[in-house]
Structure 1
Amino acid sequence: MPTPTTRELIVEQADALFYEGGYEATSFAEIAAALGISRGNFYHHFKTKDDILDAVITRRVEKTRVLLDGWQAEAIDPRARILSFIRLVIANRAKIMAFGCPVGTLASELAKLDHAAQDRAAEIFGLFRDWLACQFRALGAGERSEALALHLLVWSQGVAVMASALRDETIIHREVEGIEHWLATLTDLAPAQ
């Protein structure tokens, strides 16, 4: 694996700091200090905070595509692929409890700020929605596929918000179990007549 460039390290660190502390609250100085680089070196790679945000969103989009491609390749059955998405909340429960969902927190913060990048951040939800809709179509849900995908996204975001707000891991386990049960009960996924 090649050694990451300074630019890549800045984006990785900014991504972590934006997630843990928020985009607006994170400064150039904090990112540079966390990496132990000079501000001059930092400014050589990024002129504005919005430039960093753009790179962070691009990184998250790329990582999401890799994740979805991996789930697609790992499981032949679309139901098993959907379960991979559902169980992501369990796998990331410690970070979700501490900071919320990385996609949801950034999209929400940028929406509150009425930031020009809010649509780009929400694009990640679009990737998940489209991928989930494809899985539901493969299960035979037809025209209901997008509605089912959006329902699952909304449910998982609610789980992340409540688990983070209440700092209660049992919410995650109970709700993931409920989502798994819901998916198992979707036996008649033929398109509605």
Structure 2
Amino acid sequence: MGGARATREQIIEAADRLFYRQGYEHTSFAAIAEAVQISRGNFYYHFKTKDDILAAVITARLAERRRMLERWEAEEPTPAGRIRKYIEIPLTNRADVQMYGCPVGTLSTELAKLNHASFAEANSVFTLFRTWLRDQFALLGHESEADALAMHVIAFSQGVATLANAFRDEGFIWREVKQMSDWLTAYE
């Protein structure tokens, strides 16, 4: 049973990586099976459809982001410090961001364009971030504008990821993260 579970996790990890790097639509069963080095028959034992794999990837991404936010709450004593961790995501992941954009934003955008049934589920990661950031701004005493501030920070992050991907400019990421971090000091 542990072997089957490990294979399933390997499939999810490979699909996540491929969806991020080449997009959901352009990733085939064969490409995922090849990345995991299993036969298509073994692959179908775990996932019957590509949409089943997508659902598992979204669930894994959501769980991973929740753990990340919990870790930040344990490591950072102040709400501003925790928000700053979020602001630094494009910098922390700058190599991947320059090559592929934001994994959350690119998948949500692609599924929206496809009018895919899983769009709302993929968007749940953004909802998680929005709620968490709103809570952090409320803790800073900005409850009445917390949601707008949360959306501003998410928009910043997505804009930086998109332009960093378009221009492959690491200096741009550094400058924008510093500017957003400086902006945050007005709300501390």
Shorter-chain TM-score: which interval?
over 0.9
The whole-number CA distance in structure 1 between the counterparts of 2:44 and 2:187 is 52
How big is the shift at 1:64?
Answer: 0.6
Would the aligned equivalents of 2:33 and 2:43 in 1 still touch at CA under 8 Å?
A: yes
**Where does residue 136 of structure 2 map in the other structure?**
135
Is structure 2 residue 26 aligned with structure 1 residue 25?
A: yes
CA distance in 2, matches of 1:186, 1:51: 42
Give the deviation of 1:34 after TM superposition.
1.0
The list of structure 1 runs, each at least 4 consecutive aligned residues, that deviate by more than 6 angstroms after superposition, is: none
**Structure 2 CA distance, aligned partners of 1:170 and 1:63?**
28
Partner residue in 2 for 1:191: none
- Number of equivalent positions: 186
Counterpart of 1:80 in structure 2: which amino acid?
A: G
Superposition RMSD on alpha carbons, in Å?
A: 1.1
What secondary structure sits across from 1:5 in the alignment?
helix
CA–CA distance in structure 2, aligned partners of residues 118 and 35 of structure 1? 26
Residue by residue over 1:40-74, the C-alpha shift from the partner in whole angstroms, topping out at 9 and shown as x without a partner, is 00001000000000000000000010001111111
Q: TM-score, normalization: structure 2?
A: 0.96
Match of 1:146 in 2: 147
Residue 157 of structure 1 corresponds to which residue in structure 2?
158
Amino acid at match of 1:122: N
For residues 53-64 of structure 1, the aligned pairs below 5 Å read 53-64=54-65
Distance 1:186 1:140 in 2: 8
The Cα shift of 1:103 comes to 0.2
Matches within 5 A, 1:6-85: 6-85=7-86
Residue in structure 1 matched with residue 92 of structure 2 by the alignment: 91
Task: Please tell me whether the aligned partners of residues 140 and 187 of structure 2 are also in contact (alpha carbons under 8 angstroms).
Answer: no
Matched AA of 2:29: F
Deviations 1:70-95 (Å, cap 9, x if unpaired)? 11111111011111111111110000
Deviations 1:3-44 (A, max 9, x none): 861111000000000000000000000000111100000001
Matched, 1:167 2:142: no
Per the alignment, in what secondary structure is the counterpart of residue 114 of structure 1? coil
| Distance in 2 (alpha carbons) for counterparts of 1:31 and 1:99 | 18
Asked if the contact 2:97–2:164 (Cα under 8 Å) also holds between the matched residues in 1, the reply is yes
Percent of pairs with identical residues: 53
TM-score scaled by structure 1?
0.94
User: What is the CA-CA distance between 1:185 and the residue it aligns to?
Assistant: 2.1
* Larger CA deviation: 177-186 vs 11-20: 177-186
SS where residue 12 of structure 2 aligns? helix
Aligned-pair CA distance for 1:186? 2.4
Query: Please, which runs of 5 or more residues in structure 1 have no aligned partner?
Result: 188-193
